[in-house]
């Protein structure tokens, strides 16, 4: 069912002509105890940008990458030792734009529950999984309004997840949380216990409209700076 739903939301190459610098992340789904889970990484403390923050495996596109899927799979291999052939890629979802104005495409793929991550210590300090359902029915959640550098007002989701395996809490927020929430909305087709910036009856079109508005606000700012 999840695969079928995700394929309905596949944007393919729809946004590939954007002049913004490109990046991609892998949203690795796995089934554990009969429930869908999502794999996350924690950025190494020695990284210059966003050290110690929770994110998905991913990064900037390189010249040798054929497309966003290539980027996401290459980065996942480099960061956590996930071999590309061990990922069943399902779709690409509506992209987002990060703080550096990179256009970030989320690539969704299934991996085996038996996957043992081998984090590259230069990039990743920890790897953990969260039940996907947590991103529509969280136990510890807050939100705050955020105005982008281009003046676009949006909502930032912030989840705190108590991980029993690691005996500590992880904070998942920003674009990473945005992608996790959208993925959960697509798969579960349920209303979350918190407010979202989507028309839930027209999830695909409203997610694309939100992205187009965000993109337009950045494009307008670039034009006004010229």
The mean per-residue pLDDT over the stretch 156-182 comes to 96
The model's pTM is: 0.95
- Asked if the model's pLDDT at residue 222 lies above 90, the reply is no
For residue 151, what are its two tokens? 């003046």
Q: Give me the residue label for tokens 């007002």.
A: 153
Strand (E) or helix (H) holding 158: strand 153-163
Mean pLDDT of the chain: 93
The mean per-residue pLDDT over the stretch 147-172 comes to 90
Domain span including residue 70: 1-225
For residue 4, what are its two tokens? 């079928």
- Asked if the model's pLDDT at residue 223 lies above 80, the reply is no
Nearest residue to 23 via CA among 78, 127, 95, 89: 95
Cα-based angle 103, 104, 106 (whole degrees, multiple of 5): 145
Answer whether 76's CB lies under 8 Å from 58's CB.
yes
Answer whether 143's CB lies under 8 Å from 186's CB.
no
Cβ count within 10 A of residue 192: 18
Percent of the chain with pLDDT over 90: 82
Render pLDDT for 100-109 as a digit per residue (tens, 0 to 9): 889 999 999 9
pLDDT at 226: 40
| Residue 220 DSSP code | H
Percent of the chain with pLDDT over 70: 97
3-state secondary structure of 192: coil
**What residues does 129 pair with on adjacent strands?**
39
Answer whether 71's CB lies under 8 Å from 187's CB.
no
Q: What is the CATH number of the domain that holds 38?
A: 3.90.79.10
Domain count along the chain: 1
């Amino acid at each position: 069912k999840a695969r079928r739903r995700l394929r309905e939301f596949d944007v393919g190459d729809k946004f590939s002509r954007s002049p913004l610098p490109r990046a991609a992340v892998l949203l690795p789904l796995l089934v554990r105890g009969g429930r869908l889970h999502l794999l996350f990484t924690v950025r190494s403390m020695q990284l210059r940008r966003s050290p110690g923050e929770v994110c998905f495996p991913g990064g900037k596109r390189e010249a040798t990458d054929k497309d966003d899927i290539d980027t996401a799979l290459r980065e996942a291999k480099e960061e956590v030792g996930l071999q590309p052939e061990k990922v069943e890629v399902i779709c690409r979802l509506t992209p987002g734009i990060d703080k550096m104005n990179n256009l970030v495409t989320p690539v969704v793929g299934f991996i085996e529950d038996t996957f043992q991550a081998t984090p590259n210590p230069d990039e990743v300090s920890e790897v953990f999984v969260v039940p996907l359902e947590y991103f529509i029915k969280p136990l510890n959640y807050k939100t705050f309004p955020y105005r982008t550098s281009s003046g676009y007002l949006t909502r930032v989701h912030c989840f705190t997840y108590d991980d029993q395996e690691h005996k500590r809490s992880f904070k998942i927020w920003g674009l990473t949380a945005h992608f996790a929430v959208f993925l959960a909305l697509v798969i579960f087709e349920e209303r979350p216990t918190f407010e979202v910036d989507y028309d839930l009856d027209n999830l695909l079109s409203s997610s694309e409209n939100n992205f187009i508005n965000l993109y337009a606000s950045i494009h307008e700012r670039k034009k006004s700076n010229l």
